[in-house]
Structure 1
Amino acid sequence: MLNRMYDWIDERLDITPIWRDIADHEVPEHVNPAHHFSAFVYCFGGLTFFVTVIQILSGMFLTMYYVPDIKNAWESVYYLQNEVAFGQIVRGMHHWGASVVIVMMFLHTLRVFFQGAYKKPRELNWVVGVLIFFVMLALGLTGYLLPWDMKALFATKVTLDIVESLPFIGVPMKTLLAGDPTIVGAQTLTRFFAIHVFFLPAALLALMGVHFVLIRRQGISGPL
């Protein structure tokens, strides 16, 4: 059945050459854990991508129940946590995955740095990777407010105070993020939700696309 579907699609779109170009790609010997134990350090990038996919899928599920306003945000999270089938599991995956993806990305960045994989000709990919790191951090910060509990509220106030302390752009940046520069309220929650669900994921997917294209063109960096 699947072969017939593939043949039907391939006959119309000629996807076989594209698929072979993606799939038939030799993996360097030094990244094969079966031959080199140190090859496990090359898995951090793939693990980061795997956890990112889990974050995206679980986040899509959460948005089906979450209500981004100050009257219903906490109640919607409570309902998801206690009434929706497997809601507690999915929310737990998303909650802990937010920390795991940062750890994996940090380890991946360390591997790239200490092995000198940021040097010529991979300077641009290093810059893209650093931008992805910042986007991930921003996703964690904006998502922290969404449950709308006391811990999230006070943590967001601290974050906005740090933003406000930036020279020149601090005050307008805080106003942009919070809506009202004096309190963390309805506008803040709505803006954080929009940034977390629309703007940052779009930036993340674009940067990851560039990252993967560059990896494919330049290959996986070798050991020192």
Structure 2
Amino acid sequence: MLKKTYDWIDERLGVTPIWRDIADHEVPAHVNPANKMSAFIYCFGGLTFLIITTQIISGMFLAMYYVPDIINAYKSVKYITDEVMLGNIVRGMHFWGASLVIIMMFLHMLRVFFTGSYKAPRELNWVVGVLIFLVVMGFGFTGYLLPWDQKAYWATAVGAQIAETVPFLGPYIKTLLVGGPDLGAITLTRFFAIHVFFLPAALLVLLGLHFFMIRKQGISGPL
């Protein structure tokens, strides 16, 4: 049954050449699992992508119950945690994954830096990687406010004040984020929109460029 379904799809879309091109791609010797230490330091990029995928999937399920307004935001988070089946586990995955993805990405960037993988012809991919890191940091900042509790409120208020200190653009950045002089309903709505629409769109584009250049240039060699 599965083979017939695959053949039906393949006949219309021609997926076999694409799949074979991906599956048959040669992996360099220095990232071979047989070379345990070398393979270990080259796994951080893949782990980062795995955690990002987990964050996207868990975030989609959380968005099914979350209510982005100041009256019901905290109540909806509490409902997810206490009432929804496996909600506490899914929220825990999303919460801890937000920190873990930054750690894995930082380790990945350290590996790229110390092995000289940012040098020509991969310098553009390094720039894209830095942009991905900034987008992930944006996820952490915008997502922190969504539970709308005291800790989230005051941490975001401090973050908005820090953004305001940016030369020339600071006041405009704060107004764009907060939507007014103080944190309120508009702030929560904007942070939710940025968190679930704008940042994911930017992330998918940057990841597509990142993977395209990795495939085009190949996995970088050891130092």
TM-score category by the smaller chain?
over 0.9
Deviation at 1:47, TM superposition (A): 0.1
Deviation at 1:37, TM superposition (A): 2.2
**For residue 46 of structure 1, what is the aligned residue in structure 2?**
46
Aligned: 1:211 with 2:210: yes
Distance 1:38 1:30 in 2: 6
Deviation at 1:170, TM superposition (A): 0.4
Deviation at 1:33, TM superposition (A): 2.4
**For residue 200 of structure 1, what is the aligned residue in structure 2?**
199
Deviation at 1:35, TM superposition (A): 2.7
Distance 1:46 1:110 in 2: 14
Deviates more, 1:8-17 or 1:46-55: 8-17
Distance 2:115 2:35 in 1: 19
CA contact (8 A) 1:164 1:170 kept: yes
Paired AA for residue 70 in structure 2:
I
| Structure 2 gap segments, 5+ residues each | none
Paired AA for residue 205 in structure 1:
L
**For residue 104 of structure 2, what is the aligned residue in structure 1?**
104
**For residue 187 of structure 1, what is the aligned residue in structure 2?**
186
CA contact (8 A) 1:69 1:186 kept: yes
Cα-to-partner distance string for 1:6-65 (whole Å, 9 max, x where unaligned):
000011111111111122101000001213422210000000000000000000000000
The alignment partner of 1:120 has SS state of: coil
CA contact (8 A) 1:30 1:36 kept: no
Percent identical among aligned pairs is: 70
CA contact (8 A) 1:74 1:147 kept: yes
TM (normalized to structure 1)? Answer: 0.98
The alignment partner of 2:43 has SS state of: helix
Deviates more, 1:140-149 or 1:33-42: 33-42
The alignment partner of 1:12 has SS state of: helix
**For residue 75 of structure 1, what is the aligned residue in structure 2?**
75
Distance 1:136 1:22 in 2: 27
Paired AA for residue 111 in structure 2:
R
Distance 1:36 1:150 in 2: 46
Which stretches of structure 1, 4 residues or longer, exceed 6 Å deviation after superposition? none
> Counterparts in 2 of 1:84-103, with a 5 A limit?
84-103=84-103
The alignment partner of 2:7 has SS state of: helix
Paired AA for residue 112 in structure 1:
V
| Structure 1 gap segments, 5+ residues each | none
TM (normalized to structure 2)? Answer: 0.99
Distance 1:99 1:52 in 2: 11
Q: CA RMSD in A?
A: 0.7
Aligned: 1:55 with 2:55: yes
The alignment partner of 2:55 has SS state of: helix
Paired AA for residue 62 in structure 1:
L
Distance 2:30 2:3 in 1: 34
